[in-house]
Amino acid sequence: MKVLEFLKDTGRQAVSAAVFSLAATAAQAAVCNNPNLDVVVLGSGGPELDDRRASVGYLLRENGKARILVDFGSGTSLNFERAGAKIEDLQAVLLSQFHVDHANDVPALVKGSFFSDRSRDLPVYGPSGNKTVPGLNQYLKRLFGADGAYSYLSGFLDGSESFRLKPVTVSADTAKPTVFSASEGGFRISAVPVTHSIIPALGWRVEKDGCAVVFSSGTSNMGRTLDKITSGANVFVAHNAIPEGSTDRIALRLHMPPSEIGRIAGQSGVRNVVLSHFMNRTEHVQPATAQAIRSRYAGALAFAQDCDIYSVQSGKKTGSCAK
Ligand SMILES: [Zn+2]
């Protein structure tokens, strides 16, 4: 897309668009050439147990086949099943952080794989740790190591089972917010450290055939590091864990308000925003949330439900794994 057409398309974003770097403009010009990629929302809730939603997790599929799993919080394993996903088809698992609502069902995935035909090692990408929170290697060892809580699954770490979890640690140091890149099964994977209070966390971007999906993870986006991977995303899955105008100082260090989601989407030329990770405090204020986002972003906006399926190319909801 030519720059002028882009400016016309985004209308009100013309002012902020004008300050885009050349590189960002080039990324926005990418055309998504693959109509067969979709995202299944395996869970759209947070950690609360009275929100009638599974905690967060997302599945990127191609031609209906599971390819990239992003987070696997409480309850997502059931929707993985409903989506007809097979562990054998996964190219990689991307973990954004080790809060329960983002990683609780990881042991269920590993145990479930015992009954699958998987024989290829499964790359698992996740954040480095700090004094408070374990990094990926320690997290996996505490679960599946010889002394781990699920030591009976240690064969998936030591290689004596039919396949091995292959950990790839990505720096979550927000003081050095370098963009990490890798490639898995034809998908380009990028990550950047994002601020989530004292919890090491990563935002993820997955691309194929000019199509890009970005997962914000939980973040306040202090330092605006997430902006490094959002340029021109077809779908931006953004977490709506606090309402606009929140004065909860602890929550504000963990999560970004809707206006920040709108700023990122508007300035990055995002085409479709899909909101997720709702909590009771954001569940009943959706009109105000939409207004705060739309004040800075003119593209499409959706409030996800568990099992929603979104086309990456069009950004439109195409179905549900619950039916
Ligand atoms: Zn969370």
Cα(138) to ligand 1 centroid in Å equals: 20
CATH topology of domain 31-310: Metallo-beta-lactamase; Chain A (3.60.15)
- 8 pLDDT exceeds 50? no
pLDDT of 200 > 70? The answer is: yes
Ligand 1 geometric centre to CA of 127 (Å): 15
Contact predicate 38/308, CB 8 Å: no
Q: Cα separation of 262 and 267, whole Å?
A: 8
Residue 13: pLDDT over 70 = no
pLDDT for residue 279: 97
Q: Which residue has the tokens 């599945």?
A: 59
Q: What's the 155 CA to ligand 1 centre distance in angstroms?
A: 29
Q: How far is CA 36 from the centre of its chain?
A: 19
pLDDT value of position 29: 55
- In terms of pLDDT, which residue wins out, 25 or 67? 67
Q: Ligand 1 centre from 117 Cα, in Å?
A: 31
Percent of the chain with pLDDT over 90: 90
Å from CA of 113 to ligand 1 middle: 25
The residue type of 247 is T
Q: Each residue of 110-168: pLDDT tens digit?
A: 999 999 999 999 999 999 999 999 999 999 999 999 999 999 999 999 999 999 999 99
Q: Are strands 272-276 and 235-239 parallel, antiparallel or unpaired?
A: parallel
Min mean pLDDT across 8-17, 119-128, 146-155, 185-194 is at 8-17
**Domains of the chain, residue spans:** 31-310
Q: What is the DSSP letter of 225?
A: G
Q: Residue 323: what pLDDT?
A: 78
Q: How far apart are CA 313 and CA 211, in angstroms?
A: 7
Higher pLDDT, 49 or 8: 49
Task: Report the separation in Å between the CA atom of 252 and the middle of ligand 1, taken as the mean of its atom positions.
Answer: 13
Ligand 1: centre distance to CA 47 (Å): 6
Tell me, in angstroms, the distance from the centre of ligand 1 to residue 281's CA: 14
For residue 25, the CA-to-ligand 1 centroid distance in Å is 31
pLDDT per position as a tens digit, 19-46: 444 444 444 558 999 999 999 999 999 9
Q: How far is the CA of 218 from the centre of ligand 1 (A)?
A: 6
- Residue closest to 125 by CA, chosen among 106, 112, 144, 100: 106
Q: Check pLDDT > 70 for residue 103.
A: yes
> How far is the centre of ligand 1, averaged over its atoms, from the C-alpha of 93 (Å)?
17
Give the largest CA-CA distance in the chain. 60
Task: Please tell me the distance between residue 285's alpha carbon and the centre of ligand 1 in angstroms.
Answer: 19
Q: How far is the CA of 293 from the centre of ligand 1 (A)?
A: 20
What is the structure's pLDDT at 30? Answer: 80
CA of 2 to the centre of ligand 1 (A): 38
CA–centroid distance, 195 to ligand 1, in Å, is: 13
Section 274-301 average pLDDT: 97
Distance 323 CA to ligand 1 centre (A): 26
**Rounded distance from Cα 178 to ligand 1 centre (Å):** 23
Phi/psi at 204 (nearest 5 deg)? -125, 145
Q: How confident is the model at residue 5, as a pLDDT? A: 40
